[in-house]
Amino acid sequence: MHHTKDFHGYPFYFNYIIYFINHFNKLKKMKEQKLSNQESLDLITTMIQNSKKRMELGSGNILIAWGYVTTIIALIIGCGLLLTNNVLWMWLWFAIPAIGYPLHYFLAKKKENKTLAKTTVDNYISGIWATIGIFFAILMIICFIFGMNNYNAWGTMFLMTLPCCGFGATSTGIILKEKSLIIGGMTSMIIGALFIICYICQINIFGYDTFAFALSFAVMMIIPGHIINKKAKAKC
């Protein structure tokens, strides 16, 4: 029986064989791609879990430290302003970074000795807070320059703190799926927005705003810090 020749002298059915081989290879590649996507998802999930473990193993203490330092100093300033009506109490705001950063450095070094290796998710979180820190450093320089020209711009630091720190806490909470950080951060952003509204509408909240500021840091850092520490102890 004579077979029709095709594809450079091969039998006609050779084309169909080539077609099925190519179709099978496409299906195989699609399956491999599907597995690759699943593996990527598993990798991301693992990184988030490791980041949560790193967060639980010491980061709660860092949040608590910043929270207590900021809250206590804000309360002292608020009481001083209301009792004496003397704006010199405002200089105490500089005590927050003066006390907070050395304490943060000490706790971070202590944390490094007992935590897991850093993941990409950790770098994202560090990047968020580093960006906020750089922003405030630049803002402080700008306020200082304005101050040298007899313009009082330091209130900008106060107005920007809660929205920016609240955003950082909320973003961290979303990445790590930690509800206490999300709620605390959102609360801080809302109170910060109210400060800005009062300033624009020229509503006088002098003195009382520092108590709301203290409350914001308690909700944003102290409470989540204790919750994170409690979870860490429960897993030990």
User: 203-217, pLDDT tens digit by residue?
Assistant: 999 888 999 999 999
Within-domain flag for 173: yes
Within-domain flag for 40: no
Q: Do residues 19 and 102 share a domain?
A: no
Q: What is the pLDDT of residue 7?
A: 46
Q: Do residues 14 and 64 share a domain?
A: no
Within-domain flag for 59: yes
Asked whether the beta carbons of 33 and 25 are under 8 A apart, the reply is: no
Percent of residues, the chain, with pLDDT higher than 70: 70
DSSP codes, 122-188: HHHHHHHHHHHHHHHHHHHHHHHHHHHTT---THHHHHHHHHHHHHHHHHHHHHHT-HHHHHHHHHH
* 132 band by pLDDT with thresholds 50, 70 and 90: very high
Within-domain flag for 42: no
* Burial group, residue 128, by CB count within 10 angstroms (0-12, 13-18, 19+): middle
Structure tokens at 210: 């520092």
Q: What is the pLDDT of residue 93?
A: 92
Q: What is the pLDDT of residue 233?
A: 75
Q: Averaged over 17-21, what is the pLDDT?
A: 54
87 vs 117, residue with greater confidence: 87
DSSP codes, 198-209: HHHTT---TTHH
Q: Do residues 81 and 16 share a domain?
A: no
Q: Do residues 102 and 172 share a domain?
A: yes
Q: What is the pLDDT of residue 125?
A: 83
186-190 contacts at long range (C-beta below 8 A, 24 or more positions apart): 187/216, 187/219, 187/220, 188/162, 188/163, 188/216, 188/217, 188/219, 188/220, 189/162, 189/163, 190/166
Within-domain flag for 235: no
* 5 band by pLDDT with thresholds 50, 70 and 90: very low
CA distance 130 to 171: 13
* 26 band by pLDDT with thresholds 50, 70 and 90: low
Q: Do residues 18 and 60 share a domain?
A: no
- 77: containing domain: 54-110+118-228
Domain count, the chain: 2
Structure tokens at 194: 């109210």
Q: What is the pLDDT of residue 15?
A: 55
β partners of residue 10: 6
- The answer on pLDDT for 73 being more than 60 is yes
- The answer on pLDDT for 48 being more than 70 is no
Q: Do residues 172 and 136 share a domain?
A: yes
- The answer on pLDDT for 219 being more than 60 is yes
Q: Do residues 15 and 124 share a domain?
A: no
Quickly tell me which residue has 């509800």 as its tokens.
Answer: 179
pLDDT tens track for 105-115: 888 777 665 55
Q: Do residues 91 and 199 share a domain?
A: yes
Q: Averaged over 90-103, what is the pLDDT?
A: 92
Q: Which amino acid is at 117?
A: A
Within-domain flag for 202: yes
- The answer on pLDDT for 67 being more than 90 is yes
Q: Averaged over 172-180, what is the pLDDT?
A: 89
Q: Averaged over 177-186, what is the pLDDT?
A: 94
Q: Do residues 212 and 138 share a domain?
A: yes
Asked whether the beta carbons of 1 and 10 are under 8 A apart, the reply is: no
Within-domain flag for 96: yes
Q: Do residues 13 and 95 share a domain?
A: no
CA distance 203 to 223: 30
Within-domain flag for 23: yes
Give the contacts of 64 (CB within 8 A, at least 6 positions apart): 221, 222, 225, 226, 229
* 75 band by pLDDT with thresholds 50, 70 and 90: very high
Q: Do residues 9 and 91 share a domain?
A: no
pTM of the model: 0.74
* Burial group, residue 192, by CB count within 10 angstroms (0-12, 13-18, 19+): buried
- The answer on pLDDT for 129 being more than 50 is yes
Quickly tell me which residue has 């998710």 as its tokens.
Answer: 121
Q: Do residues 59 and 14 share a domain?
A: no
